[in-house]
Chains A and B, each alone.
Chain A
Amino acid sequence: MAQQELIIQRYNPDTDESYEESFNVDVQPGQTVLDSLNAIKWEQDGTLSFRMSCRHAICGSCAMKVNGQSMLSCQTQVDAAAERGDPITVGPQGNQNVIKDLVVDVEKFLHQFERAETWLEPYEDQEPPEREYRQKVEEFDHWSHASTCIHCGACYSDCTVAAVDENFLGPAALAKAYRFVMDSRDAKREERLQFLSEEQGGIWDCTRCYMCVQACPKDVLPMDAIMELRTLAIEAGHVNNHGVRHHKGFMSGVRKRGRLDEMMLPVQSVGIGRLLTGNLAAHKEMMDYTPGAIRLLKSRKLLTIAQRHGANAEGREQIERIFEEVEAEKHHHDVDAEAFGAEFETAIGGH
Chain B
Amino acid sequence: MLQHDVLIVGSGLAGMRAALEVSSDPTLDVAILSKVHPLRSHSGAAQGGIAASLGNSAEDSWDLHMFDTVKGGDYLVDQDAAEVLTREGPENIFELEHMGCAFSRDDEGRVAQRRFGGHTAPRACYAADRTGHAVLTVLFEQLLRRGVKVYSEWYALDLVVKDNVCQGLVAYDILSGQIEAISAKAVMFGTGGYGRAFRVTTNAFASTGDGVVMAYRAGIPLEDMEFVQFHPTGLQGSGILLSEAARGEGAHIVNSDGFRFMENYAPGRMELAPRDIVARAEQSEIEAGRGVTALRDSVFMDLRPIGEERIRYALPSVLHLARDFAGIDPLDAPVPIQPTAHYSMGGIPCDINGQVRVKDVDGAPEITGFFAAGEASCVSVHGANRLGTNSLLEAVVMGRRAGRGILDAVHDLEPTSIDEGDMANAVGEVDHFLSADGSQKVGQIRAELRDTMMDKCGVFRDDAELKECLSEVKDYQERFRNVSIDDHGSTFNTDLLDAIELGHMLEYSEVITVGAIARQESRGGHARRDFPDRDDENWHRHTLAYRPQDGEDGPRLEYCEVNMEPKFREPFPLQERTY
Contact = CB atoms under 8 A, between A and B. Distances in A.
B468 interface: no
A209 B67 CA distance: 55
B98 A136 contact: no
B109 A137 contact: yes
A53 B205 contact: yes
Interface in B19-65: 36-37, 39-42, 44-45, 54
A56 B241 contact: yes
B432 interface: no
Interface in A90-122: 99-100, 103, 106, 110, 113-114, 117-122
A56 B111 contact: no
B486 A132 contact: no
Interface residues of B, number: 65
A109 to B, nearest CB: 11
Given A135-B105, A148-B130, A120 B175 contact: no
B144 A119 contact: yes
B42 A42 contact: no
Given A47-B489, A99-B175, A140 B102 contact: yes
Contacts of A52: 205
B100 A134 contact: no
A57 interface: yes
B218 interface: no
A302 interface: no
Given A53-B40, A57-B321, A180 B205 contact: no
Contact of A119 (B93, B98, B100, B486): B100
Nearest to B46: A58
Contacts of A130: 94
Contacts of A49: 487, 492-495
Contact of A134 (B93, B110, B489): B110
A interface secondary structure, majority: loop
Nearest to B207: A53
A196 B450 CA distance: 50
B491 A131 contact: no
Interface bracket on A: 35 or more
Contacts of B109: 134-137
B245 interface: no
B409 interface: no
B237 A30 contact: yes
Interface string B304-334: 0000000000000100110011110000000
Contacts of A99: 175, 491-492
A70 to B, nearest CB: 16
B31 to A, nearest CB: 17
Interface in B96-140: 97-100, 102-111, 127-128, 130, 133-134, 137-138
A106 B38 CA distance: 13
B554 interface: no
A43 interface: yes
A317 to B, nearest CB: 46
B190 to A, nearest CB: 16
B569 interface: no
B258 interface: no
Contacts of B489: 12-14, 47, 100
Contact of B324 (A41, A57, A118, A144): A57
Contact of A100 (B45, B94, B142, B491): B491
A258 B465 CA distance: 82
19 contacts: A42-B441, A49-B487, A49-B492, A53-B42, A54-B40, A54-B45, A55-B238, A56-B241, A60-B39, A77-B327, A100-B492, A118-B141, A119-B100, A120-B142, A133-B97, A140-B102, A144-B127, A147-B102, A148-B130
Q: Which 10 A-B pairs have the closest CB atoms?
A: A120-B100, A42-B443, A46-B486, A134-B109, A119-B141, A46-B495, A147-B102, A47-B487, A132-B97, A53-B204
Interface of B: 36-37, 39-42, 44-45, 54, 93-94, 97-100, 102-111, 127-128, 130, 133-134, 137-138, 141-142, 144-145, 175, 204-206, 237-238, 240-241, 317, 320-321, 324-327, 441-443, 485-487, 489-495, 498
Interface of A: 12-14, 29-30, 32, 41-43, 45-47, 49-61, 75, 77, 99-100, 103, 106, 110, 113-114, 117-122, 128, 130-137, 140, 144, 147-151, 179-180, 183, 185-186
